[in-house]
Amino acid sequence: MKAEPDLKVRVLPPETPVPDGKGRKVYFPVQSDSLDISPALDSLNRRMTERPVPGSRRDGDKPVLFLIGDSTMRTEIDGNGFNGQWGWGYYLPNYFDCDRISIENHALGGESTRSYYKSWLFPVLRAVRPGDWVIIQLGHNDRYGGAEFTDGRFRGILPGTGKEYSEVILPGNGTRERILTYGEYLRIYIDEIRLRGGNPVLLSLTARKNFGEDGKTVPDRNTEAIRKIAEEKDVPFIDFNAAIRHKYDNVFDRRKVEYLYFSDGIHSSSFGAVINAETFVEELRRRPDIGLSRYLLPETVRESAARDGDKPVLFIVGDSTGKIDNSQQSGQWGWGQVMEDYVNPRKITVDNHAKAGRSARTFLDEGRWNVVYDEIRPGDYVIIQFGHNDGGPINRGKARGEFKGNSDDKEVMTMEPTGLNEGIYSFGWYIRKFCLDAMEKGAIPIVMSITPRNFRGEDGRIVREKNYTEWAREAAEQAGAYFVDLNEISAAMLDRMDGEEADAQFCKDPVHSSLAGAHRNAASAARGLRSLKSLPVSRMMK
């Protein structure tokens, strides 16, 4: 089994209170407000993907956390996402205080307990010092029943946890090798780590996208053997597999589970790798008896700044037509900035997370959506409005475009500004993801078409946006969300204005609104929300 993660660089501005860096879920390690990419960031990301020399990241006398695993933890040697697949170990530094502990990911795609023991374990062990921690998660590639005993990648082992063995003669050099059981290899790992003063931790495996006749995720076959060895050797054990399966079966929409993988049912997309990393961290927090938990960053509980008691919050995610950071200087305003004037403050509050220059994809890539996701509570509403910036180049320039349409097609592309790889989806796919995430948290997603541009057709009417409106409508319907055609509502108001009046609704260009234009769009949004008669939010407008 082989894999690779999918990565990208972005940096968030110091003045932006949204992500605070540490402890924040991100799909890419470094974030950017300007979308300009520094060569230094490229070097940083390459350092994060390259397999380190064992012990090379040790900082003085501080401990090191070594990761031993396969491609579900780290994809091949480069770990650069060339095939859209990422290992969860790549994202683990986001959750640890790396000023107090270093993390070295020595997992390698395709390895079994036997093959890793033969080729990679002892170079890692030579770097282990007293007080270090070593996570062991192997088993996806262990072959039973005689397969790969003397051929292939020599990953064949004996099943179970017994002491029995089988001796084989390897072809070519005639070397005699004693093949052990799965459990016995784990015993060797544990003993060798402890011999050097290290602290081993056993994990059950990541979950596969494999569902049984009962519709539930199939448990991994190795879990009980790992648990047995952990109890026998008095080693901390985390049932990683059970924790992930619980989310698949009880928390996530099945459509979400689909995109947590890339190309097959074993290897994670960047999204799945983040879920795996944060699940491990969640389980580790529950285990204060495991000393490694002391090195975790403090858990951050996010709360919307607009939260007022039990009132629902109306979240807005979008681009500069929803929010401009320097409106007083530029004269340009986003409609989300004045939306409070159109809601009943006794019933609902507004939290505007729109950000200039963002497409649906870059809003997600930069971790901005994750902040909203963390702040959502049951009963909230989430307005999702993208499209103005989504039609640009995908991997050149600002590199913020997506594939047009609503398909589930995906492709790995290399970003020219960084040389890094990213899995790219369609515009509608990103909208559906936002909707599914919002519903997962108990919120009600409402997709809106984009604000109209100041262009008139031969008939004298404002030109309506067709493609992104239709794709947004379709995505909302596919996700089971609500849709408001703000483009039509707001354009109809412009139709009733003469040219000079319409021009005054915009500032500096045909896209961005003046304060008057922002109010027109906000009034249009409120009108659209009032039309959703089945929703309580329709009665929360002024």
Whether 161 maps to a domain, the answer reads no
Instruction: Tell me, letter by letter, the H, E, C secondary structure of 400-459.
Output: CCCECCCCCCCEEEEECCCCEEEEECEHHHHHHHHHHHHHHCCCEEEEECCCCCCCECCC
Q: With a cut of 90, say whether residue 26 has pLDDT above it.
A: no
Q: With a cut of 70, say whether residue 37 has pLDDT above it.
A: no
| Token output for 105 | 């990911």
Residues near 11 by Cβ (< 8 Å), separated by ≥ 6? 30, 31, 32, 33, 34, 38, 41
Looking at the fold, whether 266 and 366 belong to one and the same domain comes out as no
Give the residue carrying structure tokens 């659209």. 528
Selecting among 140, 353, 512, 519, the annotated active-site residue is 512
Q: With a cut of 70, say whether residue 24 has pLDDT above it.
A: no
Looking at the fold, whether 68 and 190 belong to one and the same domain comes out as yes
Query: Rounded to an integer, what distance in angstroms lies between the CA atom of residue 40 and that of residue 374?
Result: 30
Looking at the fold, whether 512 and 388 belong to one and the same domain comes out as yes
For residues 388 and 419, the model is more confident at: 388
Contact 31, 19 (CB under 8 A): yes
Whether 154 maps to a domain, the answer reads no
Whether 303 maps to a domain, the answer reads no
Looking at the fold, whether 88 and 224 belong to one and the same domain comes out as yes
- Which residues are 315's β-sheet partners? 351, 382
Active site residue 132: no
Selecting among 269, 320, 490, 513, the annotated active-site residue is 320
Q: Which of 266, 294, 322 lies at the terminal end of a domain, its last residue?
A: 294
Which pLDDT does position 375 carry in this prediction?
Answer: 98
- Which residues are 105's β-sheet partners? 67
Looking at the fold, whether 334 and 457 belong to one and the same domain comes out as yes
Q: With a cut of 90, say whether residue 13 has pLDDT above it.
A: no
Q: Which of 294, 322, 339 lies at the terminal end of a domain, its last residue?
A: 294
Looking at the fold, whether 248 and 337 belong to one and the same domain comes out as no
Whether 89 maps to a domain, the answer reads yes
Which pLDDT does position 41 carry in this prediction?
Answer: 40
Q: With a cut of 50, say whether residue 7 has pLDDT above it.
A: no
Which pLDDT does position 35 carry in this prediction?
Answer: 34
- Which residues are 202's β-sheet partners? 136, 237
Which pLDDT does position 52 carry in this prediction?
Answer: 84
Looking at the fold, whether 253 and 360 belong to one and the same domain comes out as no
Looking at the fold, whether 195 and 125 belong to one and the same domain comes out as yes
Q: What is the pLDDT of residues 463-489, one digit of tens each?
A: 999 999 999 999 999 999 999 999 999
Range with the poorest average pLDDT among 298-302, 479-483, 505-509: 298-302
Q: With a cut of 50, say whether residue 530 has pLDDT above it.
A: yes
Q: Fill in the amino acid letter for 363.
A: F
Which pLDDT does position 457 carry in this prediction?
Answer: 96
**Domains held by the chain: number:** 2
| Token output for 204 | 């059950």
Range with the poorest average pLDDT among 184-193, 302-311, 417-426, 508-517: 417-426
Looking at the fold, whether 241 and 334 belong to one and the same domain comes out as no
DSSP state of 166: E
For residues 310 and 174, the model is more confident at: 310
Q: Which of 294, 321, 338 lies at the terminal end of a domain, its last residue?
A: 294
Looking at the fold, whether 467 and 522 belong to one and the same domain comes out as yes
pLDDT band for 146, please (50, 70, 90 cuts). Answer: confident
Quote the mean pLDDT of the chain: 90
Q: What is the mean pLDDT of residues 394-423?
A: 92
Which pLDDT does position 408 carry in this prediction?
Answer: 93
Which pLDDT does position 45 carry in this prediction?
Answer: 54
Active site residue 512: yes
Q: What is the dihedral of CA 434, 439, 444, 448, to 10 degrees?
A: 20
Which pLDDT does position 18 carry in this prediction?
Answer: 34
Looking at the fold, whether 348 and 397 belong to one and the same domain comes out as yes
Residues near 133 by Cβ (< 8 Å), separated by ≥ 6? 63, 64, 65, 66, 101, 198, 199, 201, 291, 292
Q: What is the pLDDT of residues 65-122, one digit of tens each?
A: 999 999 999 986 666 788 889 999 999 999 999 999 999 999 999 999 999 999 999 9
Q: What is the pLDDT of residues 211-259, one digit of tens each?
A: 999 999 999 999 999 999 999 999 999 999 999 999 999 999 999 999 9
Which pLDDT does position 44 carry in this prediction?
Answer: 46
Chain-centre distance for alpha carbon 253? 16
What is the CATH classification number for the domain harbouring 444? 3.40.50.1110
Which pLDDT does position 153 carry in this prediction?
Answer: 87
Q: With a cut of 80, say whether residue 38 has pLDDT above it.
A: no
Query: Rounded to an integer, what distance in angstroms lies between the CA atom of residue 424 and that of residue 140?
Result: 27
Whether 259 maps to a domain, the answer reads yes
Q: What is the pLDDT of residues 305-357, one digit of tens each?
A: 999 999 999 999 999 999 998 888 899 999 999 999 999 999 999 999 999 99
Contact 288, 129 (CB under 8 A): no
Which pLDDT does position 32 carry in this prediction?
Answer: 36
Whether 500 maps to a domain, the answer reads yes
Which pLDDT does position 303 carry in this prediction?
Answer: 95
* Boundaries of domain holding 267: 9-143+182-294
Whether 290 maps to a domain, the answer reads yes
Whether 475 maps to a domain, the answer reads yes
Selecting among 61, 234, 310, 509, the annotated active-site residue is 509
Which pLDDT does position 147 carry in this prediction?
Answer: 84
Looking at the fold, whether 354 and 211 belong to one and the same domain comes out as no
Q: What is the mean pLDDT of residues 412-435?
A: 93
